């Protein structure tokens, strides 16, 4: 284990709830020892089961009630514990205690998710990813409930049920699962053009991440920091992964969904078990109140981002995920996030999407977790004390002692805490609000395309091609031609070149007019400019009987030294003997492993490769090549690369010296993908 786990206040609290069942005698829930757990109580060995069998009834009843409703969105999720540590005090901007002191640590719990699919759906869907963080601060829980895309589809919460209905499986036939490639989603897009910017992101590589560990996170909305003096600053939150932002390719993603629908959760789980603790730096973009109107977009519009080149991201701390959950249901399923869980120093704005979320999240927990006491579930409990006059309800755990359950009272002397810095009561920012009641959208929210264009302009050629391919796939699955045409016409506002290619691919009329005069770019939006490192990447080592022992062992050891994870794949699992008789254990066979599950392929081969090995390895290499992955061989395996005709291509590494090979191969792994192979799907 490379790094030490730091268990804080939250883990100590959870310890009180953790139960270890190993070696324990079975009892009923009432503590009665049971003598038998395989046979129900019957009237005679071949007779009917009888009502009196309280043990059977208890066991079966509990089982019958095991399921709770899945989240209406973000049902498919996976979570981990960790710690957040402050780099730089934010005291000038916020009185939030957990951000005030350099070095201060706060326990966190993070749940990553897809949005549209149900609880058992494949994790490589083309979709937004949820990135929800609960900070267990000394002033109460603060939830930063964000996504991996910095903007959203709609501008007003009242449209959320419509949007989700449009993207979920169509109600008349329940198809398709976890996919936006169908008529109702695109019909919604065409009729709600505020979706344009977000749809560009969704059609980009951001929507098919390589790993939860390699995604950015965004608070999306504009929030407020409020300092001790009551002064406010507008703030947007970012999570920046230290491993950089990386994606899969769409053909690969679809195959992963079949080969390993748990690909993302397994990646997160194993990284944490291996001590490769995922890290994300917390960044803030700040805009002073007086500057709020000086941008060419409305800073309260959730379909707009603040380009990082204009409003820099200040990194203020780092989150390290260092502990897997013990029980997925108790922790990952029962965790209840809410953008309204704030602490003093963090406040809301009038973003109409955020305002609506403040209602929805408690409401949804009430149905999902079955009543108003979900805050008492171990994963949801704050680490600071909590007291009030709320009482009773389903599943109440707390035994509130005493006769008083009301405010104001003279008998118990429990009062609110004034909002002074010393006493710490929460005070809402005293924003002056004055207006007529009106159902309308501010005109300043009307520009739906400028930032969609900014995004498009900022993409590399490969990223642009992926967007065109994604649109062509998604619209290609749409059956209604009017919908296809409307979408193509709509996105002519972004780029004429883009839609002309899409139109051609799907067989509708290519718009002749459109495009945008905007030439601005934001390099931070392109994944080409992200952090590049080979650390924690997995490499399939394809090995056949009679391999060059010294060389292969040396390559494997050197890769491991660089933090890379080699996985040996052979014709069969188990020991594979090298040329000198020494063996290496293959943990996977060609039946259990698949090219799409690895970041790179090292073809170790052997001097006399078997027919079976050559065939399987060639297929493996072929797929890796078409997914633009690094492929390498130091010696024996080279013939397979030569036979595949790929040795001229970038990212195909052939070196006979082990040192040179490992250096070049790791560099290629860090680059991640070699897009200039010019292969399109
Ligand atoms: Fe959510 N969202 N959302 N959402 N959201 C939920 O709450 C909702 C939005 C996000 O891992 C639900 O507990 C409305 C934006 C995440 O448990 C629900 C609107 C962003 C998660 C809900 C939005 C998010 C949720 C369903 C439009 C990024 C998963 C289950 C106004 C900033 C949290 C639940 C977890 C979950 C409502 C839009 C992020 C129904 C009404 C924008 C990460 O309350």
* CATH number (domain holding residue 516): 1.20.1370.20
Same domain? 490 vs 613: no
pLDDT digits (tens, 9 = 90+) for 528-552: 999 999 999 999 999 999 999 999 9
For residue 152 and ligand 1, the question of a CB distance below 6 A is answered with yes
Which is higher by pLDDT, 321 or 679? 321
Own/partner contacts of 638-642, CB < 8 Å, gap of 24 or more, are: 638/603, 638/605, 639/605, 639/609, 640/603, 640/605, 640/609, 640/614, 641/603
Same domain? 484 vs 559: no
Residue 678 is predicted with a pLDDT of 64
The 3-class secondary structure across 577-605, one letter per residue, is EECCCCEEEECEECCCCCHHHCCEEEEEE
Residue 108 is predicted with a pLDDT of 98
pLDDT of 646 over the 80 cut: yes
657 Ramachandran zone, left/alpha/beta (phi>0; psi -120 to 50) = beta
- Count how many domains the chain has: 3
**CATH classification at residue 351:** 2.40.180.10
Spatial contact of 241 and 209, defined as CB atoms under 8 Å apart: no
DSSP structure class, residue 542: E
Residue nearest to atom 3 of ligand 1 (CA): 357
User: Could you tell me whether strands 565-570 and 538-543 are parallel, antiparallel, or unpaired per DSSP bridges?
Assistant: parallel
Same domain? 513 vs 587: no
Same domain? 102 vs 150: yes
In a domain, 125, yes or no: yes
Same domain? 538 vs 499: no
pLDDT digits (tens, 9 = 90+) for 157-174: 999 999 999 999 999 999
Catalytic residue among 55, 74, 238, 448: 74
The values of phi and psi at residue 480, to 5°, are: -85, 120
Q: Where are the beta strands (DSSP E) in 296-380?
A: 314-324, 346-347
Q: Is 661 exposed, middle or buried (0-12, 13-18, 19+ CB in 10 A)?
A: buried
651 Ramachandran zone, left/alpha/beta (phi>0; psi -120 to 50) = left
How high does pLDDT run on average in the chain? 96
The H or E element that residue 84 is part of is: strand 77-86
Mutate to test the pocket of ligand 1, among 68, 69, 70, 71 (most ligand atoms within 8 A of CB): 71
Q: Which two tokens stand for residue 656?
A: 């006979």
Same domain? 288 vs 186: yes
**Structural domain range at position 565:** 532-677
Catalytic residue among 81, 141, 147, 148: 147
Question: Whose CA is closest to 639, among 667, 608, 677, 679?
Answer: 608
pLDDT of 613 over the 60 cut: yes
Q: Identify the bridge partners of residue 567 per DSSP, sorted by sequence position.
A: 540
Residue 677 is predicted with a pLDDT of 85
Same domain? 321 vs 267: yes
pLDDT digits (tens, 9 = 90+) for 52-67: 999 999 999 999 999 9
The rounded Å distance from CA 134 to ligand 1 centre is: 14
Same domain? 510 vs 541: no
The H or E element that residue 357 is part of is: helix 352-368
Q: What is the mean pLDDT of residues 2-25?
A: 84
- Predicted-complex ipTM score: 0.99
CA distance 292 to 156: 20
Point out the domain boundary residue: 528, 560, 586: 528
Q: Which two tokens stand for residue 103?
A: 């070095």
In a domain, 71, yes or no: no
Mutate to test the pocket of ligand 1, among 128, 133, 337 (most ligand atoms within 8 A of CB): 337
pLDDT of 374 over the 50 cut: yes
Residue 421 is predicted with a pLDDT of 78
Report residue 679's pLDDT band, with 50, 70 and 90 as the boundaries: low
CA distance 591 to 381: 45
Residue nearest to atom 18 of ligand 1 (CA): 361
pLDDT of 350 over the 50 cut: yes
Same domain? 346 vs 311: yes
CA distance 14 to 475: 48
Distances (CA, A) of 55 to 21, 24, 44: 19, 18, 18
Structure-token match 């007529």, residue found: 436
pLDDT of 4 over the 80 cut: no
In a domain, 107, yes or no: yes
Report residue 680's pLDDT band, with 50, 70 and 90 as the boundaries: very low
Residue 543 is predicted with a pLDDT of 97
In a domain, 192, yes or no: yes
Point out the domain boundary residue: 528, 553, 583: 528
CA distance 591 to 574: 13
357 is in an annotated binding site: yes
Residue 562 is predicted with a pLDDT of 95
Q: What is the mean pLDDT of residues 279-294?
A: 97
**CATH classification at residue 618:** 3.40.50.880
Residue nearest to atom 28 of ligand 1 (CA): 146
In a domain, 18, yes or no: no
The rounded Å distance from CA 165 to ligand 1 centre is: 14
Residue 250 is predicted with a pLDDT of 98
pLDDT of 30 over the 50 cut: yes
The rounded Å distance from CA 143 to ligand 1 centre is: 12
The rounded Å distance from CA 557 to ligand 1 centre is: 44
Point out the domain boundary residue: 380, 395, 412: 380
Closest approach atom of ligand 1 to CA 79 = 11
pLDDT of 1 over the 50 cut: no
Question: Whose CA is closest to 14, among 343, 383, 371?
Answer: 383
In a domain, 37, yes or no: no
pLDDT digits (tens, 9 = 90+) for 234-247: 999 999 999 999 99
Closest approach atom of ligand 1 to CA 157 = 31
């Amino acid at each position: 284990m490379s790094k030490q786990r730091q268990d804080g206040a939250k883990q100590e609290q959870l310890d009180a709830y953790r139960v270890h069942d190993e070696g324990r005698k079975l009892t009923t829930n009432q503590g009665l020892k049971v003598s038998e757990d395989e046979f129900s109580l019957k009237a005679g060995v071949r007779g009917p089961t009888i009502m009196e069998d309280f043990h059977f009834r208890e066991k079966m009843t509990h089982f019958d009630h095991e399921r709770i409703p899945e989240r209406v969105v973000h049902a498919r999720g996976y979570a981990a514990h960790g710690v957040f540590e402050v780099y730089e005090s934010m005291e000038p901007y916020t009185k939030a205690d957990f951000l005030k002191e350099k070095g201060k640590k706060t326990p966190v719990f993070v749940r990553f998710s897809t949005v549209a699919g149900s609880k058992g759906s494949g994790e490589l869907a083309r979709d937004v990813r949820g990135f929800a963080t609960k900070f267990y601060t000394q002033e109460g829980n603060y939830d930063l409930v964000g996504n991996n895309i910095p903007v959203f589809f709609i501008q007003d919460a009242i449209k959320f049920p419509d949007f989700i209905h449009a993207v979920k499986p169509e109600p008349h036939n329940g198809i398709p699962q976890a996919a936006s490639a169908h008529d109702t989603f695109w019909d919604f897009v065409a009729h709600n053009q505020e979706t344009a910017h977000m749809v560009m992101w969704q059609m980009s590589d951001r929507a098919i991440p390589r790993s939860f560990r390699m995604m950015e996170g965004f608070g999306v909305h504009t929030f407020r920091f409020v300092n001790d003096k009551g002064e406010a600053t507008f703030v947007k939150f970012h999570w920046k992964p230290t491993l950089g932002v990386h994606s899969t390719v769409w053909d690969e993603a679809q195959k992963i969904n079949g080969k390993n629908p748990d690909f993302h959760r397994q990646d997160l789980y194993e990284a944490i078990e291996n001590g490769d603790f995922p890290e994300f730096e917390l960044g803030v973009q700040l805009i002073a109140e007086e500057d709020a109107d000086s941008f060419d977009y409305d800073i309260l519009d959730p379909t707009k981002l603040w380009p990082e080149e204009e409003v820099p991201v200040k990194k203020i701390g780092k989150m390290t995920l260092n502990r897997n959950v013990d029980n997925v249901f108790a922790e990952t399923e029962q965790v209840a996030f809410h953008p309204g869980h704030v602490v003093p120093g963090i406040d809301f704005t009038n973003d109409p999407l955020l305002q609506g979320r403040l209602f929805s999240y408690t409401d949804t927990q009430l149905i999902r977790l079955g009543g108003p006491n979900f805050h008492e579930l171990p994963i949801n409990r704050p680490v600071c004390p909590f007291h009030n006059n709320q009482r009773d309800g389903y599943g109440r755990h707390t035994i509130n002692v005493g006769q008083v359950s009301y405010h104001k009272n003279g008998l118990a002397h429990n009062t609110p805490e004034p909002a002074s810095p010393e006493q710490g009561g929460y005070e809402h920012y005293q924003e002056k609000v004055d207006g007529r009641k009106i159902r309308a959208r501010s005109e300043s929210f009307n520009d739906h395309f400028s930032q969609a264009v900014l995004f498009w302009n900022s993409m590399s050629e490969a990223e642009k091609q992926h967007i065109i391919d994604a649109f062509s796939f998604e619209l290609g699955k749409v059956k209604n031609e009017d919908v296809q045409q409307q979408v193509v016409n709509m996105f002519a506002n972004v780029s004429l070149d883009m839609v002309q290619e899409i139109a051609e691919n799907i067989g509708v009329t290519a718009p002749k007019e459109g495009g945008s005069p905007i030439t601005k770019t934001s390099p931070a939006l392109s994944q080409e400019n992200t952090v590049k490192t080979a650390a924690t990447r997995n490499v399939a080592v394809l090995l056949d009987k009679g391999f060059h022992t010294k060389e292969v062992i040396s390559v494997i050891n050197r890769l491991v030294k660089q933090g890379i994870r080699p996985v040996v794949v052979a014709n069969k699992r188990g020991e594979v003997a090298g040329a000198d008789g020494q063996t290496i254990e293959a943990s996977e066979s060609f039946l259990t492993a698949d090219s799409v599950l690895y970041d790179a392929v090292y073809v170790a081969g052997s001097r006399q490769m078997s027919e079976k090995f050559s065939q399987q390895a060639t297929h493996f290499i072929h797929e890796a090549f078409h997914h633009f992955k690094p492929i390498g061989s130091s010696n024996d395996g080279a013939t397979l690369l030569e036979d595949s005709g790929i040795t001229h291509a970038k990212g195909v590494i052939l070196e006979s010296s082990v040192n040179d090979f490992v250096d070049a191969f790791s560099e290629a792994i860090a680059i991640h993908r070699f897009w200039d192979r010019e292969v399109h799907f």
